[in-house]
Amino acid sequence: MFIASFITGPFQANCYLLAREPGSDCVVVDPGMGAEEFLGEALKTHHLTPVAVALTHGHIDHVGSARQVGDQYGIPVLCPRDDRHLLADPMAALSDFARPLIEQCYGSTTLREPEEVVDVEPFSHHEYADLDLEFLHAPGHTPGCSMIRMVDAQFGPIVMSGDVVFAGSIGRTDMPGADPAQMSRSLSDVVWPLDDSTHLLPGHGGPTTMAQERISNPFLNRT
């Protein structure tokens, strides 16, 4: 398994490239605001060919370049079904403070969807780049918020945890469309059962493991 990452945009979101090995097909996870500026060089450096974009949820800091990347490479954009509307209407999940920034970056708060969008159903599997991607529906931060799980023969389970769980914290639940009660259920029903050996690659900040979070994350300890 090969994973590369870089940080995008003013919200410092992680964009990941998932592949079996360098020099092969890859999946681009959460190409956030301005990701297209760095993606080409990352693909060239690791000799990767993108075959799909996968989104953990619909917030602009994670999908801000999904259309540009999807359309440029002619590849599908996999988006959790309940967050698809955010691809065209990012302000539906943001407070008004973000409006000037969105207008500055995109010239409008109404955007155009990627040419090819795949509606991802909760807990569905999708195979791209010889990887089995399981979308674990974990709403609360957004209605469609999901974690993307894979199992690697060498490293074991790997979860792109998006904005569900971070090292020592969890995603916010005070934004439009968020639901604290749903987040609590997601933490107890979806996150807590993950095996201790699971590697967590969050949407912001550094990597962690489920074993570490079970011990140190105060939000998980409350579930």
What pLDDT, in 10s, does the model give residues 84-124? 999 999 999 998 989 999 999 999 999 999 999 999 999 99
* pLDDT value of position 149: 99
Predicted pLDDT of residue 222:
58
Higher pLDDT, 208 or 97: 208
Mean pLDDT for the stretch of residues 54-82: 98
Contacts of residue 79, defined as CB under 8 A and 6 or more positions apart, other chains included, come to 55, 58, 63, 66, 87, 117, 118, 119, 120, 144
pLDDT for residue 129: 99
Domains of the chain, CATH where assigned: 2-221 (3.60.15.10)
**pTM, entire model:** 0.97
Give mean pLDDT, residues 19-31. Answer: 98
Cβ burial, residue 105 (10 Å; 0-12/13-18/19+):
middle
Say how far apart CA 16 and CA 28 lie, in whole Å.
6
Q: Is the pLDDT of residue 223 over 60?
A: no
State residue 97's pLDDT score.
87
Mean pLDDT, range 174-178, rounded to an integer: 96
Identify any residues that bridge with 78 across adjacent strands, giving them in sequence order.
54, 118
Tell me which of 101-110, 168-177, 190-199 is least confident. 101-110
Residue 28 CB neighbours (<10 A): 28
pLDDT of residue 59: 98
Higher pLDDT pick, 43 / 223: 43
Partners of 49 in the beta sheet? 25
Model confidence at 169: pLDDT above 90: yes
* 221: confidence class by pLDDT, cuts 50, 70, 90: confident
Does the pLDDT at position 153 exceed 90?
A: yes
Q: Which residue has the tokens 């259309």?
A: 67
